[in-house]
Structure 1
Amino acid sequence: MSEILRFQDWSDPVPAGDREVVSRLPEEDDGERPPLLFVPGMGHGGWAFTEHWLAHAASRGWPSHAVTPRPGGDLRAQAHDVVQTAAALPRQTVLIGHGTGARVVARALGRYPARAAVLVSPVLDGWAALGAALRGNPAGTIPALFGGPLRFSAKQLFGPGLPAEQAQAHLERIGARPRAELFGRDALPEPVGGPPTLVVGSPDDRVVRRPELDKAAARYGGAPLLFPGMGHYLMLETSWQEPIDAILDWLGKQTPAR
């Protein structure tokens, strides 16, 4: 069921919050391609996309933006920020979320009629992701169950091809202190307008396992687009260009010029 109109939005509105948006625009914008709005996951900012994907998408003619989640914001507030940011862009927007950012996008799709959506390594089932984290890195995960930080290892997040110094530099920028709701399994709304939705991931992801990718893709009526040998962070791997080019090629077919 759509969530465009919800009583909670009237009775308990999301408080105003600063939204940091980073943009990379094509040298020439013919106005035919929809803007892309990238949504990072827990503990991240727009930097996760400005490393590679934002500029590359702009070089291929796509106006590209990344929004940083408000500090301390719950899922409802983050989805609100995504909807407000997308609504402020000049054309109907494509929403692209990574990790828990994909869960935020899935919630935003219940309120914003996106042109299309892409869920990258999506954490839609918090319990499944928590179980994978506990098995793969119990020492770094258990403190998060009691309000402490969630500490990832390079092995959890990246493929073996990423140089150790680069992996460590990325890890030092991640500040994840997860809210309890991220470990939940809340019902996601039906997307407004039925936008085409693509699920992208890796069968070697140690955070979102293959069965979860299959389940997420089936929910949106398709099969996942997979990139073997990569980790959870497709946009930060040495082979980062392969998945973003595949995403842009898919979007080119799904969002023809109007």
Structure 2
Amino acid sequence: MTWRKGPYKNYSGKAQLSSILIFASMATLMSFLPISVPNLPPHPALAATTKPFSVPSSDRKMRVPYELKRGQNRLFHELPSGLSMEVIEQKGAEIDGITREPPLIFIHGSYHAAWCWGEHWLPLFSSRGFDCYALSLLGQGESDVPPGSVAGTLQTHAADVADFISRNLSVPPVLLGHSFGGLIVQCYLANAKTKQNLEAQDLFPEVAGAVLVCSVPPSGNSGLVWRYLFTKPIAAFKVTRSLAAKAFQTSVPLCKETFFSSEMEDQLVERYQVLMKESSQMSLFDLRKLNASLPVPSIPKSSVPVLVLGAEDDFIVDAKGLEEMGNFYGVSPVCIGGVAHDMMLDCSWEKGAEAIVSWLRKEHL
């Protein structure tokens, strides 16, 4: 590595502060970096069963203070392990002259749960005729907490999504994943059956398409971390404090800067801050093991329609990460102006949703 001459050589004033921030951030963020980066083959899925999902019993205590919108139902899908996964469902409206649309499966990222889609995007997409299903991954939202220190691996989370699809849907859905949920979608695509990949595992049903919303790129978050450390040390320090130290849970300004636009009302930020804090009972992954398993296996270009959607004001996923995803899937990324990382909750949430609707129509999905 070649060090730049200049402020790092003179430990005084702003230069000293920059150096301190870099090394303080590095010390914390080293745990997120990969030990190695092997290109692993698709992982075997969990065995499926034929148990249907069920409605919650009246004595089930809700952990997350989220009230469903009109037309939404909270269901629980029982996985092969016996653990239950929360599903917020909103059926599509019947629209004259429009062929039934493919179902949409929404997969959240860290510190979120199914509710983050139920707030705005489920009502909008259902009004356009799409059946919508927002899943809470294990250990998140109202889903059961598995044994162990983390909720699962990239492969087990993808297998849980596959189990829900195989046992409840009769037509291929479109997967939408946000942040680390987007990485789970990428893992699913690497395992799913396609016309070009007939040897893929039967337990990952075919999908009609995928939308990666402010997603972690195929190589993981390591590149993002290093770029922030050496180009935006103060931002790197804030991201570390916000996410790794979970300071966003107690600081409204930091929560806003991490997830939302500056125009977002503090009252809304405070509401979502509470929901995020209550949503995550445990970490989605062991990040060191996750990064060591990356990048995700590639898929034949054009085998599945993919939309790579980014946010101009994203504080977590930068333009390079967006470009990496576009190159990986052979598509041109779409970057939405005036929105931040939590595109589906931000004050201009409809911008991203309308871009997705336009893409779905263009792809005839």
TM-score, normalization by structure 1: 0.85
- One-letter amino acid of the counterpart of residue 115, structure 1: A
- One-letter amino acid of the counterpart of residue 171, structure 2: R
Encode CA deviations 1:136-166: one digit per residue, 9 max, x unaligned.
334334547xxxx875621111111211111
Q: 1:33: how far off?
A: 1.3
Aligned counterpart for 1:91 among listed residues 164, 171, 180: 171
- Kept after mapping to 1: 8 A contact 2:172/2:207: yes
Aligned counterpart for 1:56 among listed residues 124, 140, 155: 124
- One-letter amino acid of the counterpart of residue 216, structure 2: V
Task: Return the alpha-carbon distance in structure 2 between the equivalents of residues 141 and 238 of structure 1.
Answer: 22
> Equivalent residues in 2 for 1:6-21 (5 A)?
6=43, 15-21=81-87
Task: Return the alpha-carbon distance in structure 2 between the equivalents of residues 97 and 225 of structure 1.
Answer: 15
- One-letter amino acid of the counterpart of residue 85, structure 1: F
Q: Which residue of 1 aligns with 2:361?
A: 252
> Equivalent residues in 2 for 1:142-181 (5 A)?
142-143=244-245, 151=249, 153-175=255-277, 178=283, 179-181=285-287
Pair 1:36–1:187, CA change in 2 (3 A): same
Encode CA deviations 1:70-121: one digit per residue, 9 max, x unaligned.
1123322211111112222121110000010000111111223210000000
Stretch moving more, 63-72 or 164-173: 164-173
- One-letter amino acid of the counterpart of residue 181, structure 1: L
Task: Return the alpha-carbon distance in structure 1 between the equivalents of residues 314 and 181 of structure 2.
Answer: 16
Pair 1:181–1:59, CA change in 2 (3 A): same
CA RMSD in angstroms comes to 2.7
**SS of equivalent residue, structure 2 residue 191:** coil
**SS of equivalent residue, structure 1 residue 96:** strand
> Equivalent residues in 2 for 1:105-254 (5 A)?
105-112=185-192, 113-124=206-217, 125-130=220-225, 132=228, 134-143=236-245, 151=249, 153-175=255-277, 178=283, 179-181=285-287, 184=291, 186-191=294-299, 194-254=303-363
Pair 1:142–1:195, CA change in 2 (3 A): closer
Name structure 1 gaps, 5 residues minimum: none
- Kept after mapping to 1: 8 A contact 2:102/2:131: yes
Q: Which residue of 2 aligns with 1:66?
A: 134
Encode CA deviations 1:186-220: one digit per residue, 9 max, x unaligned.
12123488211011011221100111011111111
- One-letter amino acid of the counterpart of residue 126, structure 1: N
Task: Return the alpha-carbon distance in structure 2 between the equivalents of residues 219 and 204 of structure 1.
Answer: 22
Pair 1:156–1:128, CA change in 2 (3 A): farther
- Kept after mapping to 2: 8 A contact 1:136/1:206: no
Task: Return the alpha-carbon distance in structure 1 between the equivalents of residues 44 and 342 of structure 2.
Answer: 36
User: Is 1:77–2:185 an aligned residue pair?
Assistant: no
Task: Return the alpha-carbon distance in structure 2 between the equivalents of residues 180 and 150 of structure 1.
Answer: 20
- Kept after mapping to 1: 8 A contact 2:103/2:174: yes
Pair 1:15–1:229, CA change in 2 (3 A): same
- One-letter amino acid of the counterpart of residue 130, structure 2: W
Task: Return the alpha-carbon distance in structure 2 between the equivalents of residues 137 and 110 of structure 1.
Answer: 30
Pair 1:215–1:255, CA change in 2 (3 A): same
- Kept after mapping to 2: 8 A contact 1:2/1:111: no
Count of residues in Structure 1 that have an aligned counterpart in Structure 2 = 248
User: Is 1:24–2:132 an aligned residue pair?
Assistant: no
**SS of equivalent residue, structure 2 residue 84:** coil
- Kept after mapping to 2: 8 A contact 1:2/1:190: no
**Higher radius of gyration, 1 or 2:** 2
Moved over 6 A (4+): none
Pair 1:173–1:128, CA change in 2 (3 A): farther
User: Is 1:102–2:182 an aligned residue pair?
Assistant: yes
